[in-house]
């Protein structure tokens, strides 16, 4: 399992602009779908020039990918070196539940973002239908690898790799994304916890 890694250190002003742009994008995503957000809107909300946004991220999809990667990096750091139960030191079942709660929070705060990224990939000019999502999407690859490792530690009798895909796939469902838009984040998190708990404690084969 390899977490996404940050780029080399930025200048203070560049880092400040980057944080402002990503924060503005996340705030806009709370009220609009990704395809409804323009680079001009992001620049105005972040208090920077439009050219700064285009120079740094290239286009809207590049901006969305950067936002998802940034949020995933923060989660990866918490997993690798933060306090338990999200970080090391807690039993695998507690860590798994805490991690899924954190993933729900990331997805809920960026409503529609994962769906937009997945749609962009599926409609790209280069066919990718046979490409492994763990390598095509580094963020998903890290999430899947961590869930797989914790499932394997807790339940070595399970097909952990497949179960991890199934658990994470629920958060990419249009029905679930709609629930996030309706403010049902706590409900989704509770249901995913219930599902995961049942999986962890189901009778072995």
DSSP letter for each residue of the chain: -------SPPPHHHHHHHHHHHHHHHHHHTTS-GGG--HHHHHHHHTS-HHHHHHHHSSHHHHHHHHHHHHHHHHHHHHHHS-TTTSTTS-HHHHHHHHHHHHHHHHHHTTTHHHHHHHHHHTSSS--TTS-HHHH-HHHHHHHHHHHHHHHHH-TTS-HHHHHHHHHHGGG-HHHHHHHHTT-HHHHHHHHHHHHHHHHHSPP-
Token pair in block for residue 129? 């239908």
Query: Measured between alpha carbons, how far is 159 from 201 in angstroms, rounded to an integer?
Result: 14
| pLDDT score, position 104 | 92
Report the chain's mean pLDDT, rounded to a whole number: 84
Question: Given a cut of 80, is residue 183 above it in pLDDT?
Answer: yes
- pLDDT band for 46, please (50, 70, 90 cuts): very high
Q: Is CATH 1.10.10 the right assignment for the domain spanning 8-58?
A: yes
Is 0.75 topped by the overall pTM? no
Query: Measured between alpha carbons, how far is 22 from 57 in angstroms, rounded to an integer?
Result: 10
Region for 183 from its dihedrals, namely left if φ exceeds 0, alpha if ψ lies in -120 to 50, beta otherwise:
left
Measured between its terminal Cα atoms, the distance across the chain in Å is 26
Query: Residue ranges of the domains in the chain?
Result: 8-58, 60-201
Question: Given a cut of 80, is residue 111 above it in pLDDT?
Answer: no
Pick one of 3.30.1490.20, 1.10.357.140, 1.10.357.10, 3.30.70.1060 as the CATH number of 60-201.
1.10.357.10
Task: Quick: pLDDT tens for 52-99.
Answer: 999 999 998 889 888 888 887 888 899 999 999 999 999 999 999 999
| pLDDT score, position 180 | 86
Contact 192, 168 (CB under 8 A): no
Query: Measured between alpha carbons, how far is 127 from 3 in angstroms, rounded to an integer?
Result: 26
| pLDDT score, position 124 | 41
What are the two backbone dihedrals, phi and then psi, of residue 62, each rounded to the nearest 5 degrees?
Answer: -60, -35
């Amino acid at each position: 399992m390899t977490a996404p890694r940050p780029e080399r250190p930025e200048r203070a002003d560049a880092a400040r602009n980057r944080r402002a742009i990503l924060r503005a994008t996340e705030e806009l995503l709370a009220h609009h779908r990704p395809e409804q957000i323009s680079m001009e809107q992001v620049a105005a909300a972040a208090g920077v020039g439009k050219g700064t946004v285009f120079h740094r991220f290239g286009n809207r999809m590049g901006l969305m990918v950067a936002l998802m990667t940034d949020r995933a990096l923060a989660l990866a750091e918490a997993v690798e070196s933060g306090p338990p139960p999200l970080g090391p030191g807690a039993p695998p079942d507690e860590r798994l539940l805490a991690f899924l709660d954190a993933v729900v929070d990331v997805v809920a705060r960026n409503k529609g973002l994962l769906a937009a990224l997945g749609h962009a990939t599926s409609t790209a000019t280069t066919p990718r239908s046979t490409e492994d999502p763990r390598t095509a999407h580094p963020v998903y690859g890290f999430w899947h690898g961590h869930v797989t490792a914790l499932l394997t530690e807790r339940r070595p009798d399970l097909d952990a790799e497949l179960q991890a895909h199934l658990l994470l796939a629920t958060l990419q469902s249009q029905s679930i994304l709609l629930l996030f838009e309706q403010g049902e984040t706590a409900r989704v998190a509770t249901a995913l916890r219930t599902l995961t708990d049942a999986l962890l404690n189901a009778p072995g084969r």
